[in-house]
Chain A
Amino acid sequence: GAVVSQHPSRVICKSGTSVKIECRSLDFQATTMFWYRQFPKQSLMLMATSNEGSKATYEQGVEKDKFLINHASLTLSTLTVTSAHPEDSSFYICSARTAGGPDTQYFGPGTRLTVL
C-alpha cells in the first residue's frame, strides 16, 4: 500500500518551454502533498506544500509564479515549471501524506528534468 507515482520519470525540454509533472497517490487519499527538488550530490529541499482545494504554500526563495502547483483532487497534484531554464534542471520529487493514521510521507520515484 501507500504507493505514489510520478509522471513523467524523465523529461528533456528546450529553454523557455513549460513542463508539467504529475504526482498521484494510487491507493490512498492525500490531503497534503509536498514537492521537493534535489540537485546532484545534495539533499532534498522542500519547495512547496500542496493542500487539496487550496493554494500551495511555497518555501522561502521558491518563486510561486515559476513553479505552479495545482492540487485538484485528493489523489493528484501537479507541478508546472514555467519558462524553464538550464538552472531548473534537477530531480523533482513529490510526497503524499496519508490522511489519518501515522504521520508518514510516501515519496514518488522522482522526475529528472533536463533543460537544454
Chain B
Amino acid sequence: DAKTTQPPSMDCAEGRAANLPCNHSTISGNEYVYWYRQIHSQGPQYIIHGLKNNETNEMASLIITEDRKSSTLILPHATLRDTAVYYCIVRVAGGADGLTFGKGTHLIIQP
C-alpha cells in the first residue's frame, strides 16, 4: 500500500466544516483512497472511499485531486462527536491484506 501523509492534529469549531487533507503522491492507478476514524477507545469506523471521482455519503464528502496525489475529507457540519483520529489509507480494492494505519490526524472539535 502506498504511504500517506496527514497533519498530526487539527482544530475545528463546532458547526463549521472540517477539512482534513491527505497527501498520497505515490498512489498507483488501481489504488483507492479510504478514510476511517477512531473515536477514543473504540474500533475504527469506515467513513468513505473513492478512486478518482468525488464521493459523498451521509457522513462526509471526499474530494480527490485530478492527479490523485492528494485528497480532502470534508465533514460539512462538525459536531463534538466528530472528535476522533482520522486515518487516510490507500490500497488496492479487493486486496486480501489488512489495513496499514499511519498516525492519522487528531481532529478536535471545539465548542
The interface of chain A, by Cβ under 8 A from chain B, is 2, 4, 6, 32, 34, 36, 43-46, 49, 91, 93, 95, 102-110, 112
Contact = CB atoms under 8 A, between A and B. Distances in A.
Contacts of A49: 96-98
Contacts, number: 56
Interface of A is mostly: strand
B93 interface: yes
Interface residues of B, number: 25
Nearest to A109: B43
B21 interface: no
A104 B49 contact: yes
Given A34-B98, A49-B96, A103-B93, A91 B41 contact: yes
B98 A95 contact: yes
14 contacts: A6-B43, A44-B38, A45-B101, A46-B98, A46-B99, A49-B96, A91-B41, A95-B98, A103-B95, A105-B46, A107-B43, A109-B42, A110-B43, A112-B41
Interface string B34-48: 101010011111100
A53 B100 CA distance: 24
B94 interface: yes
